[in-house]
Structure 1
Amino acid sequence: MLNEFWASAPASYKVLVFSAMGLIAAGIILNVAGNAAHNQGLMVASLPVIGLGLVLHVVALVVRGQHIRKSYKR
């Protein structure tokens, strides 16, 4: 089960993981673009995007833990 978790993972976990990765990537791209253009507003605006991605990643870990815990009870 644990070796093939992605194959049997709930759809909510997959959506959360990909959303988190996308938000973190978008935040990093915004930050790099802001630094390249010397645009402080863009740099600061990228931080909540990265933070939201990190929060979604933690939520995905909680969903994964609950799924594994439920599978052990069966």
Structure 2
Amino acid sequence: MLNEFWATAPTRYKVLVFSAMGLIAVGIILNLVGNTSGNSGLATASLPVIGLGLVLHIAGIVVRGQAIRKGYKR
């Protein structure tokens, strides 16, 4: 079932997963650039971007759980 889920996953789940991965990646890159260049403002500003990515990740988990529960009821 786990291998087949992505093929049958709802579009909103796929959007949430890719958005979360993108935001987390951008946040990490901003954090690395800010810390290596000594720009503490940029490093601090990257934390909410990472946090938003994590929130979207949790939302994706919720959407996936709902889709799986609907599959069990059928």
| Bucket of the pairwise TM-score, normalised by the shorter protein | over 0.9
Matched, 1:73 2:73: yes
Q: Which runs of 5+ in 1 are unaligned?
A: none
TM-score, normalised to structure 2, is: 0.97
- 1:4 partner SS: helix
Please tell me the root mean square deviation across aligned C-alpha atoms, in Å.
0.7
Identity of aligned residues (%): 76
TM-score of the superposition, structure 1-length normalised? Answer: 0.97
Tell me whether 48-57 or 2-11 shows the greater mean CA deviation.
2-11
Shift of 1:36: 1.1
Matched with 2:49 is: 49
Q: Distance in 2 between matches of 1:63 and 1:15?
A: 11
Structure 2, unpaired ranges of 5+? none
CA distance in structure 2 between the partners assigned to 1:2 and 1:22 by the alignment: 23
Task: State the 4+ residue runs in structure 1 displaced beyond 6 angstroms.
Answer: none
Deviation readout 1:3-61 (Å, 9 max, x if unpaired) = 31000000000000000000000000000000111000000000000000000000000
